[in-house]
């Protein structure tokens, strides 16, 4: 009895091992290891303060997020600024605030927290929201404030409600493929082909925006809702609109975090990588033989500190502003690709014109997608150049910006990853697919020409095999077995 | 101690009977669903439930009977051994081995019960699975093709003709076809059929509220019919462990009146043919 108890107890212990709560942590890009430790510390300090006492950086941890106001992310239930209020003389406190809401993501309900972000109450104890009036420009707080805030003081209602909801949903539905950091490297990612998206480049393939413009919220939410056919991204149709929005905001936030991290490392990589510092130390000692290597290194680190407290601050602010503007720009209606001309009627003539363009030197579709649209064009056999390093890839074939091998789409399958509406195909041709070698033809081709191509491409799955040019189902079969028997006879005839 | 075991083995059948008795009222058997009572939402489902309850009755009676017999044997055994100290009243244990009559009895009785169940359920089974027994309404063709894949349900509907009437669903995709994912819209109040396929591994098409469960097998096109009595939303789940994302395979079945479904199909068609040009009068553009 006793032995059995011990065995069962041990078995239980073993089966429970590894069940402990695992803290989700952001991981840094691999490139950070190229930097000298001092530079690495700086990157961590700015990003998330990982391993540095008292530092949270601009992003914090997944479980303890820092919401950086400069990024255009919907973090809060609502976000707004205090407007000038007529204060009644004699009233000893202000409980009705005139406000202008800059964004409202969730309904404002009594009992929610109101937190001041700027002004004299910034970061201070928050007040409970009693109600919001119907016009949405007046808010009751309880208890009131004895001294009114200044006009323009910003506040958040239900602070962080959207993003923290998004994080929970992301952890539940997305993280196992897309990773805690959004690096597309979650535990299940290695089983997938194509690989899950790595958000950290800030690039998303299927957008409604022009080339080199970022993805819109709506694009991301469509992907979450409908999935991507032909890939492992499933549809999350049953999530509510609110849940979908929360996930999208969290993904955008992760994406911005990744981009900022990349910029940070880029800024230091040239001069303060381990390699660069070693060679700088060597050359410093060459010119001054009395200098010890540790002194030379200290000089370089001091120089880096000077840069980081000086020029870098401005550069970083500019970069951040540029990034925020890019994401904001995507939300502007002008960023959308909208055809100027209605779809050309889907007639055999239009398809024939599309087919001609498809093969032409102007559109060059066939060089990648193949003469028959089977995704087997000549470029898939050629060695390509990596656009970032400008060196040849080791193996022939196309690659995407994430370094994964990429096949041009087989247009005969009838699977359209970016959506099957004519508008979706128009946008793929007009703006290209960011992060991939698919170029934008919006400037090269006229709208009518793009529609001709769309009509042709949408028809490819319905071409019968023998109709399909270049596929050659008929030709690849020997014309007749007689060739083999007749030929020797003929040759003997000739010999005779 | 002997009395304790006696009581112990009698206690459980009593608990089981009480639990089984109150379970239907507490919705412990079936998902509550749109009916709110756990009742099946389709006529065939109700008959399947009847079969279920009949089998439950048979097994309950068997279980209770067995337990009562066990309790009786224990009880009488305990009584006999109580008097065993007294040499007069001591009763010798009765050993049995190989009673032919008993063997025959407990072979024939369960066999008869099983045979009864097999014959009794045949009608329901045939109606659900055998094509010749399908209701007249579904023989005109399927309303949609449902393709299971890791980890979602992709649905293909036949398009609409110029008059807004649905075309016939063809085995192969057509340029006019309409597509959705995880969103199955079918007509309520009449038997409807779908074609079920799988793109990769085995899945199982499961409508718990309608009591429909059918495996989707790669390479096969399986006709499945059912009738949703109420126009509402039902859950559609995968009931076959199909991979690591199995739990994600949740979708909805929207059963609605035929005219509502046609309106929905027209909207879907307009959205799917959207060319994004605003003055085309397309209200469905979601941007």
The CATH code of the domain that includes B252 is 2.60.40.420
Q: Is residue B286 part of a domain?
A: no
Beta bridge mates, B192: B226
Distance CA A289, CA A64 (A): 50
For residues B128 and B246, state if they share a domain. Answer: no
For residues B246 and B151, state if they share a domain. Answer: yes
pLDDT(A390) > 90: no
Contact B212, B226 (CB under 8 A): yes
Determine the pLDDT at residue A469: 54
Q: Is residue B101 part of a domain?
A: no
pLDDT(A27) > 50: yes
Nearest to B251 among A232, A237, A423 (CB): A237
Determine the pLDDT at residue B249: 93
DSSP state of A1: -
Q: Is residue B92 part of a domain?
A: no
Distance CA A327, CA A216 (A): 8
pLDDT(A45) > 70: yes
- Measure in Å the smallest separation between the Cα of B170 and chain A Cα atoms: 13
Of residues B281 and B121, more confidence is placed in B121
Instruction: Answer yes or no: do B250 and A208 touch at CB < 8 A.
Output: no
A336 Cβ contact partners less than 8 Å away, ≥ 6 residues apart: A208, A209, A210, A216, B287
Q: How confident is the model at residue B109 (pLDDT cuts 50, 70, 90)?
A: very high
Distance CA B211, CA B214 (A): 10
For residues B124 and B160, state if they share a domain. Answer: no
For residues B113 and B178, state if they share a domain. Answer: no
Q: List the structure tokens of A269.
A: 């990589």
pLDDT in tens, B234-247: 999 999 999 988 99
Determine the pLDDT at residue A95: 79
For residues B168 and B121, state if they share a domain. Answer: no
pLDDT(A478) > 50: no
A187 touches chain B (CB under 8 A): no
pLDDT(A486) > 80: no
For residues B50 and B144, state if they share a domain. Answer: no
Beta bridge mates, B212: B207
Q: Which residues of chain B have a CB within 8 Å of the CB of A412?
A: none
Q: Is residue B87 part of a domain?
A: no
For residues B192 and B76, state if they share a domain. Answer: no
Q: Is residue B88 part of a domain?
A: no
- Measure in Å the smallest separation between the Cα of B272 and chain A Cα atoms: 5
A234 touches chain B (CB under 8 A): yes
H or E stretch at A314: helix A311-331
pLDDT in tens, B5-34: 888 888 888 888 888 788 877 777 777 777
Instruction: Answer yes or no: do A423 and B173 touch at CB < 8 A.
Output: no
Q: Is residue B150 part of a domain?
A: yes
Determine the pLDDT at residue B10: 83
pLDDT in tens, B202-251: 999 999 999 999 999 999 999 999 999 999 999 999 999 999 889 999 99
Instruction: Answer yes or no: do A338 and B182 touch at CB < 8 A.
Output: no
From A191-200, A256-265, A324-333, A386-395, the region with the lowest mean pLDDT: A386-395
Distance CA A13, CA A392 (A): 53
Of residues B191 and A491, more confidence is placed in B191
DSSP state of A335: G
Determine the pLDDT at residue A53: 78
Determine the pLDDT at residue A88: 62
For residues B269 and B225, state if they share a domain. Answer: yes
Determine the pLDDT at residue A112: 85
Q: How confident is the model at residue A4 (pLDDT cuts 50, 70, 90)?
A: low
Q: List the structure tokens of A401.
A: 């910006």
Q: Which residues of chain A have a CB within 8 Å of the CB of B181?
A: 226-227, 229, 235, 237
Distance CA A387, CA A384 (A): 9
Q: List the structure tokens of A281.
A: 């130390």
Q: Please give the tally of structural domains in chain B.
A: 2
Say what the alpha-carbon torsion angle A7, A11, A14, A15 is, to the nearest 10 degrees.
-170
**Residue in chain A lying closest to B247 (CA):** A173
Contact A396, A409 (CB under 8 A): no
pLDDT(A475) > 50: no
Q: Where are the beta strands (DSSP E) in A280-430?
A: 398-399, 405-406
Cα separations (Å) of B41 from A415, B31, B228, B229?
A: 35, 11, 6, 6
Nearest to B182 among A238, A420, A462 (CB): A238
**pTM for this prediction:** 0.86
Question: Which of B69, B98, B133 lies at the terminal end of a domain, its last residue?
Answer: B133
Beta bridge mates, B187: B256
Largest Cα–Cα distance in chain A? 128
For residues B246 and B164, state if they share a domain. Answer: yes
Q: Is residue B205 part of a domain?
A: yes
A465 touches chain B (CB under 8 A): no
For residues B183 and B264, state if they share a domain. Answer: yes
Q: Is residue B215 part of a domain?
A: yes
Of residues B281 and A171, more confidence is placed in A171
pLDDT in tens, B53-105: 899 889 888 888 888 888 888 888 777 766 555 555 556 666 777 888 889 99
Query: What is the rounded average pLDDT for all residues in chain B?
Result: 87
Distance CA B35, CA B41 (A): 7
Q: List the structure tokens of A472.
A: 């050659």
Other CB atoms within 10 A of residue B82 CB: 12
Containing domain of residue B237, as a range?
138-274
Sequential DSSP letters for B199-249: SSS-EEEEEGGGTEEEEE-TT--EEEEE--SSSSEEEEEE-S--STTGGG-
For residues B125 and B175, state if they share a domain. Answer: no
């Amino acid at each position: 009895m006793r032995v059995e108890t011990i065995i069962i107890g041990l078995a239980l212990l073993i089966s429970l091992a590894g069940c402990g709560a695992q803290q989700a942590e952001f991981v840094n890009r691999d490139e950070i290891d190229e930097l000298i430790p001092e530079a690495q510390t700086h990157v961590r300090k700015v990003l998330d303060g990982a391993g540095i006492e008292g530092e949270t950086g601009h992003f914090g941890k997944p479980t303890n997020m820092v919401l950086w106001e400069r990024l255009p992310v919907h973090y809060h239930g609502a976000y707004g600024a205090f407007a000038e209020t007529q204060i009644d003389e004699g009233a000893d406190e202000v409980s009705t605030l005139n406000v202008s809401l800059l964004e409202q993501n969730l309904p404002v309900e009594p009992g929610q927290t109101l937190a001041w972000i700027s002004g004299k109450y910034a970061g201070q104890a928050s007040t409970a929201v009693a109600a919001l009036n119907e016009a949405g420009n007046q808010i009751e707080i309880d208890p009131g404030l004895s001294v009114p805030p200044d006009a323009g003081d910003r506040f958040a209602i239900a602070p962080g409600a959207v993003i923290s909801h998004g994080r929970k949903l992301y952890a539940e539905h997305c993280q196992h493929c897309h990773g805690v950091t959004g690096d597309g490297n979650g535990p299940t990612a290695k089983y997938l082909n194509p690989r899950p998206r790595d958000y950290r480049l800030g690039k998303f393939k299927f957008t409604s925006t022009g080339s080199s413009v970022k993805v819109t919220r709506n694009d991301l939410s469509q992907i979450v809702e409908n999935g991507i056919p032909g890939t492992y991204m499933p549809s999350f149709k049953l999530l509510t609109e609110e849940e979908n929005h929360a996930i999208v905001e969290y993904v955008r936030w992760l994406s911005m975090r990744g981009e900022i991290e990349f910029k940070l490392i880029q800024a230091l990589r040239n001069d303060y990588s381990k390699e660069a510092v070693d060679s700088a130390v060597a050359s410093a000692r060459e010119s001054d033989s009395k200098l010890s290597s540790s002194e030379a290194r200290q000089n370089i680190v001091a120089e880096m500190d000077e840069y980081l407290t000086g020029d870098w601050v401005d550069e970083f602010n500019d970069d951040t502003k540029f990034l925020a503007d890019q994401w904001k720009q995507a939300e502007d209606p002008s960023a959308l690709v909208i055809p100027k001309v209605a779809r050309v009627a889907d007639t055999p003539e239009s398809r024939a014109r599309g087919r001609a363009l498809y093969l032409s030197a102007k559109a060059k579709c066939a060089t990648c997608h193949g003469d028959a649209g089977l995704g087997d064009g000549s470029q898939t056999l050629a060695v390509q150049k990596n656009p970032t390093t400008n060196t040849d890839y080791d193996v022939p074939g196309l690659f995407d910006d994430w370094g994964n091998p990429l096949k041009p789409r087989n247009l005969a399958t009838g699977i359209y990853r970016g959506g099957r509406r004519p508008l979706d195909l128009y946008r793929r041709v007009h703006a290209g697919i960011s992060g991939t070698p698919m170029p934008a033809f919006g400037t090269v081709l006229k709208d009518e020409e793009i529609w001709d191509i769309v009509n042709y491409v949408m028809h490819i799955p319905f071409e019968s095999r023998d109709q399909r040019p270049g596929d050659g189902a008929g030709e690849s079969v020997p014309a007749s077995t007689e060739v083999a028997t007749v030929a020797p006879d003929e040759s003997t005839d000739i010999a005779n | 101690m002997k009395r304790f075991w006696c009581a112990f083995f009698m206690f459980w059948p009593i608990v089981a009977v009480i639990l089984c008795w109150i379970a239907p009222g507490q919705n412990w058997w079936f998902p509550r669903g749109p009916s709110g009572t756990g009742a099946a939402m389709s006529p065939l489902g109700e008959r399947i439930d009847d079969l279920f309850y009949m089998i439950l009755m048979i097994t309950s009676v068997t279980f209770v009977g067995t337990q009562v017999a066990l309790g009786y044997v224990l009880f009488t055994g305990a009584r006999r051994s109580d008097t065993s100290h007294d040499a007069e009243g001591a009763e010798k244990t009765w050993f049995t081995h190989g009673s032919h009559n008993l063997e025959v009895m407990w072979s024939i009785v369960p066999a008869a019960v099983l045979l009864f169940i097999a014959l009794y359920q045949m009608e329901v089974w045939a109606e659900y699975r055998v094509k010749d027994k399908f209701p007249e309404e579904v023989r005109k063709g399927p309303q949609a093709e449902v393709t299971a894949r890791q980890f979602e349900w992709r649905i293909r509907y036949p398009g609409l003709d110029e008059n807004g009437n649905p075309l016939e669903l063809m085995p192969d995709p057509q340029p006019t076809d309409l597509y959705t994912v995880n969103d199955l819209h079918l007509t309520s109040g009449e038997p409807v059929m779908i074609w079920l396929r799988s793109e990769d591994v085995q899945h199982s098409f499961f409508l718990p509220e309608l009591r429909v469960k059918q495996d989707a097998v790669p390479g096969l096109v399986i006709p499945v019919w059912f009738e949703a009595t109420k126009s509402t939303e039902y859950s559609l789940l995968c009931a076959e462990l199909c991979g690591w994302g199995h739990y994600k395979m949740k979708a909805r079945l929207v059963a609605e009146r035929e005219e509502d479904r046609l309106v929905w199909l027209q909207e879907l068609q307009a959205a799917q043919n959207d060319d994004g040009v605003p003055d085309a009068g397309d209200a469905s553009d979601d941007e």
